[in-house]
């Protein structure tokens, strides 16, 4: 009989892609998959295929016992509140406590590169969750330190293309970004595999690119000029506040650039290939997605 595999955050973009890989790439039976989400109504198509869709909200600990019952391995997808540093670690702590309680043997967690002592204001949530895994009674866990998605560009590109200028305080640091779909494939592979014990992988893309390099590649693809403009950190924050962002959120977003400036996302690892047996998609091959969205 196949193991019972649970994916939290199953209605999110990563969660849906992970379940897609479990079903299509790894060809697991739908009956071996539990999709836990705050929004079961959005996953009716999966339910129709035989996936067990269950209601689970980390802010409602009572929902978790029934949602996690019977699962052997669980992918804990980190939650999404960037505006409240510290809040996510509490949510993840509740999920881990419920996983222990439900007798889940192995938890896979989506973290970030170098989360400890990071200048990134959201890093403590990941560092604290990793620490909670270390201190847990779980038989095993795998931390996947996911690099930034190529797809994050979809949030910033409309403004960049509108002005032709890409403001940053990253001091020209490189970032080894990776396609979200590749991260989903790696997560699905670890979840469905037999890895036990305690392990940490860092899932980077094939190369670290500076914003100037990314801008050149996108400019060529779209035929639109993009100038990368280095500004001081406070200038970047002020720019975002001027565009209507609350200052605390602007500070969080700007701290991504400080993190990049310190070289904390530039490391290229072979962990993606170790897990999946394939190289990650490179940025130049991914850019047609940008062309389709903005060309």
Ligand X SMILES: NC(=O)c1ccc[n+]([C@@H]2O[C@H](COP(=O)([O-])OP(=O)(O)OC[C@H]3O[C@@H](n4cnc5c(N)ncnc54)[C@H](OP(=O)(O)O)[C@@H]3O)[C@@H](O)[C@H]2O)c1
Helix, strand, or coil here: 51? coil
Distances (CA, A) of 295 to 32, 121, 163, 216, 283: 41, 33, 15, 15, 17
Q: Counting contacts by CB under 6 A, is residue 271 touching ligand X? A: no
**E strand or H helix at 190:** helix 180-192
* Alpha-carbon span 60 to 100, nearest angstrom: 16
CA triple 91-92-97, angle to 5 deg: 100
Alpha-carbon dihedral 38, 145, 26, 64, rounded to 10 degrees: -30
Q: Does 259 bind ligand X (CB under 6 A)?
A: no
Task: Give, in order, the Cα–Cα distances in Å from 84 to each of 62, 91, 149, 190, 254.
Answer: 23, 12, 21, 30, 15
Looking at beta carbons only, is 39 or 84 nearer to ligand X?
39
In the complex, what is the shortest distance from the CB of residue 4 to ligand X, in angstroms, rounded to a whole number?
Answer: 18
Using CB under 6 A, which of 110, 111, 168, 210 touches ligand X? 110
Q: Which of 68, 149, 201, 283 binds ligand X (CB under 6 A)?
A: 149
Beta carbons of 84 and 123 less than 8 angstroms apart:
no
Q: Which of 68, 109, 148, 201 binds ligand X (CB under 6 A)?
A: 148
Nearer to ligand X, 48 or 220 (CB): 48
Task: Compute the distance between CA of residue 156 and CA of residue 50 in angstroms, rounded to an integer.
Answer: 38
Closest distance of CB 18 from ligand X, Å: 9
Q: Give the x-and-dash track for 178-217 against ligand X (CB under 6 A).
A: --x-------------------------------------
Q: Using the rule CB under 6 A, which residue among 2, 31, 45, 59 binds ligand X?
A: 59
- Candidate list 32, 52, 91, 189; residue touching ligand X; CB under 6 A: 91
Nearer Cβ to ligand X (81/247): 81
- Residue 185: closest CA among 277, 261, 76: 277
What Å distances lie between residue 87 and 59, 83, 84, 123, 278, CA to CA?
Answer: 10, 9, 6, 12, 35
With CB under 6 A as the contact rule, the residue among 12, 85, 181, 280 that binds ligand X is 12
Is residue 14 involved in binding ligand X (CB under 6 A)?
Answer: yes
Question: Shortest gap between Cβ of 282 and ligand X (angstroms)?
Answer: 17
Q: What does the per-residue mask of binding to ligand X show for 66-85, with x meaning CB under 6 A?
A: -----------xxxx-----
Residues 6+ apart with CB under 8 A from 215: 166, 226, 227, 228
CA distance 246 to 232: 19
Exactly one of 31, 44, 152, 284 binds ligand X (CB under 6 A); which one?
152
Among 5, 6, 10, 290, binds ligand X (CB under 6 A): 10
| Residue in 11, 46, 123, 290 binding ligand X, rule: CB under 6 A | 11
Which residues of this protein are in contact with ligand X, per CB under 6 A? 8-15, 37-39, 57-59, 77-80, 91, 110, 146, 148-149, 152, 180
């Amino acid at each position: 009989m196949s193991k019972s595999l649970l994916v939290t955050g199953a209605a999110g973009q990563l969660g849906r892609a992970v379940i897609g890989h479990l079903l299509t790439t790894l060809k697991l039976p739908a009956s071996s998959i539990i999709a836990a989400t705050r929004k079961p109504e959005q996953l009716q198509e999966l339910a129709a295929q035989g996936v067990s869709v269950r209601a689970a909200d980390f802010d409602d600990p009572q929902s978790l016992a029934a949602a996690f019952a019977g699962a052997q391995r669980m992918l804990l997808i980190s939650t999404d509140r960037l505006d409240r540093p510290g809040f996510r670690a509490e949510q993840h702590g509740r999920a881990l406590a419920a996983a222990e309680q439900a007798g889940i043997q192995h938890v896979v967690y989506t973290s970030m590169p170098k989360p400890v002592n990071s200048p990134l204001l959201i890093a403590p949530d990941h560092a604290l969750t990793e620490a909670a895994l270390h201190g847990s009674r779980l038989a095993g866990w795998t931390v996947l330190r996911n690099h930034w998605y190529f797809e994050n560009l979809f949030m910033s590109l409309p403004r960049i293309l509108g002005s032709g200028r890409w403001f940053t305080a990253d001091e020209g640091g490189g970032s080894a970004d990776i396609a979200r779909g590749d991260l989903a494939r790696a997560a699905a592979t670890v979840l469905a595999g037999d890895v036990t014990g305690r392990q940490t992988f860092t899932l980077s893309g094939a190369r670290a690119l500076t914003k100037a390099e990314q801008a050149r590649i996108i400019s060529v693809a779209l035929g639109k000029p993009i100038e990368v403009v280095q500004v001081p950190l406070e200038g970047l924050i002020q720019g975002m506040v001027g565009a209507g962002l609350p200052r605390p959120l602007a500070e969080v977003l700007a701290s991504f650039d400080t993190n990049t400036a310190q070289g904390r996302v530039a490391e290229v690892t072979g962990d993606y290939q170790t897990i999946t047996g394939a190289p990650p998609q490179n940025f130049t091959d991914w850019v047609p997605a940008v062309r389709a969205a903005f060309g």
